[in-house]
């Protein structure tokens, strides 16, 4: 029971940081979403020890473990665009998938090549 | 009152389908049983079968989406825990993300152009690799179709997560660093959720790649698109 109260309190703190991020985004008309700004703020506050890790630990672990759950309503939004999967639109779906694979291939291999070279040097 | 009731039912429904898809993924551990894919498909089928509109479902769904904000904030926690190791890895992370960013925008733009689509569609597809709000903002500033941008982002997120297992296996992408960067820069937060299933470290790397890639693409997309068009 104590643990679930902790989780709820931790999530409240994370939610406040999210709202601070939203406020910064809107006030300064930034490109970066409020949630990402909130994440950067939390990271900085952890670094300079304004927020103790024990204030968010259980809540953060819980939310990260179930990250997929929070995405579901957004991805279900695809139902309004099912026409895209018929006719000409399917080409766009395939292009998106192909381009996504190429991003993974290039980003992944460039960094893997760099790290393995670096690791080899150190050995 | 009735709206609250509908909301509660859709939250419980989403939760049940989520739990079911997690169980299914544990039992049949294939890339195509990835919970985000299975849960989305089941929910769409349920809603279509009972003729429930997306707006009605979102009476509850909005509550769940609202928590996506703090969930993204929570990613600072693994980032903080792995900070010393991540500091050493910053160069490959930055270079990998830059490579991915350029490849993502240019292949999206060129393939769509060669397939003969209008510039509106080309603008929309250019930022599909980044997280939804950023992609929508970029699309809007370029003059694309904003709601469609969100759909491309979702397709990039889900397809990247599902197909990553095969891609990693057949192209010899073995290092946790390469995998994390690949998932974060191609499939944003959905990819990060997938990377977190492998390890906390891979997830942290993926979240850094996701942020860097969002910043990079919002800067390079307008210029790159006008060069390639």
pLDDT in tens, B74-132: 989 988 988 998 899 999 999 999 999 999 999 999 999 999 999 999 999 999 999 88
Q: B192 and B96, same structural domain? A: yes
pLDDT tens across B168-221, in order?
999 999 999 999 999 999 999 999 999 999 998 999 999 999 989 998 998 899
Asked whether residue B116 is assigned to any structural domain, the reply reads: yes
**d(CA B29, nearest CA chain A) in Å:** 16
Number of domains chain B contains: 2
Q: B114 and B44, same structural domain? A: no
Asked whether residue A70 is assigned to any structural domain, the reply reads: no
Q: A96 and A51, same structural domain? A: no
What pLDDT score was predicted for residue A56? Answer: 95
Mean pLDDT of A44-73: 93
Domain range for A122 is: 78-123
Comparing CB atoms, the residue among B68, B72, B218 nearest residue A74 is B68
Q: A55 and A1, same structural domain? A: yes
B215 exposure class (CB count in 10 Å sphere: 0-12, 13-18, 19+): middle
Q: Can you spell out the DSSP letters for chain B?
A: -HHHHHHHHHHHHHHHHHHHHHHHHHHS--GGG-HHHHHHHHHHHHHHHTT--HHHHHHHHHHHHHTHHHHHHTTHHHHHHTHHHHHHTHHHHHHHHHHHHHHHHHHHHHHHHHTT--HHHHHHHTTTTS-HHHHHHHHHHHT--HHHHHHHHHHHHHHHHHHHHHHHHHHT---HHHHHHHHHHHHHHHHHHHHHHH-HHHHHHHHHHHHHHHHHHHHHHHHHHHHH-
Note whether B156 contacts A100, CB cutoff 8 Å.
Answer: yes
Residues of B in contact with A76 (CB under 8 A): 40, 43-44, 47, 54, 57, 61
What pLDDT score was predicted for residue A85? Answer: 83
Domain boundary among B66, B91, B118: B66
Residues of B in contact with A98 (CB under 8 A): 107, 111
Q: A82 and A37, same structural domain? A: no
Q: B134 and B57, same structural domain? A: no
Q: B88 and B50, same structural domain? A: no
Q: A37 and A7, same structural domain? A: yes
Mean pLDDT of A84-95: 90
Comparing CB atoms, the residue among B61, B96, B207 nearest residue A76 is B61
Comparing CB atoms, the residue among A43, A99, A103 nearest residue B76 is A43
pLDDT tens across B110-126, in order?
999 999 999 999 999 99
Q: B18 and B60, same structural domain? A: yes
Q: B197 and B102, same structural domain? A: yes
Q: A2 and A47, same structural domain? A: yes
Mean pLDDT of A5-12: 95
Which three-class secondary structure state does DSSP give residue B175? coil
Q: A48 and A2, same structural domain? A: yes
What pLDDT score was predicted for residue B219? Answer: 87
What pLDDT score was predicted for residue A123? Answer: 63
Domain range for B105 is: 76-228
Q: A100 and A52, same structural domain? A: no
Alpha helices by DSSP H, chain A: 2-27, 34-47, 57-65, 67-76, 89-122
What pLDDT score was predicted for residue B54? Answer: 94
Asked whether residue A73 is assigned to any structural domain, the reply reads: no
Q: Are B155 and A97 in contact (CB under 8 A)?
A: yes
Rounded Cα distance between B13 and B7, Å, is: 10
């Amino acid at each position: 029971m104590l643990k679930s109260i902790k989780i709820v309190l931790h999530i409240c703190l994370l939610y406040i940081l999210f709202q601070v991020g939203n406020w910064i985004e809107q006030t300064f008309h930034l490109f970066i979403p409020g949630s990402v700004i909130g994440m950067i703020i939390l990271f900085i506050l952890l670094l300079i020890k304004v927020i103790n890790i024990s204030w968010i630990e259980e809540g953060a672990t819980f939310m990260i473990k179930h990250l997929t759950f929070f995405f579901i309503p957004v991805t279900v939004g695809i139902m309004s665009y099912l026409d895209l999967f018929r006719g000409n639109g399917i080409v766009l779906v395939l292009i998106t998938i192909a381009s996504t694979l190429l991003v993974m291939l290039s980003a992944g291999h460039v960094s893997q090549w760099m790290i393995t070279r670096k690791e080899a040097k150190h050995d | 009152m009735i709206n609250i009731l509908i909301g509660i039912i859709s939250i419980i429904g989403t939760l049940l389908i989520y739990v079911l898809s997690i169980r299914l993924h544990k039992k049949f551990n294939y890339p195509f049983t990835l919970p985000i894919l299975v849960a989305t498909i089941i929910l769409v089928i349920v809603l279509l079968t009972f003729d429930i509109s997306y707006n009605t479902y979102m009476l509850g769904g909005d509550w769940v989406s609202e928590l996506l904000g703090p969930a993204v904030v929570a990613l600072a926690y693994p980032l903080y825990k792995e900070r010393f190791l991540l500091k050493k890895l910053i160069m490959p992370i930055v270079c990998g993300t830059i490579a991915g960013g350029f490849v993502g925008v240019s292949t999206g733009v060129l393939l769509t152009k060669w397939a003969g689509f209008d510039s509106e569609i080309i603008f929309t597809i250019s930022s599909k690799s980044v997280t939804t709000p950023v992609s929508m903002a970029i699309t809007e500033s370029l003059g694309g179709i904003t709601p469609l941008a969100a759909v491309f982002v979702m397709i990039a997120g889900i397809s990247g997560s599902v197909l990553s297992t095969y891609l990693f296996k057949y192209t010899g992408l073995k290092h946790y660093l390469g995998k994390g960067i690949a998932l974060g820069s191609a499939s944003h937060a959905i990819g990060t959720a997938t990377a977190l299933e492998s390890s906390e470290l891979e997830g942290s790397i993926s979240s850094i790649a996701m942020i860097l890639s969002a910043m990079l693409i919002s800067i390079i997309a307008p210029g790159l698109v006008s060069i390639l068009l």
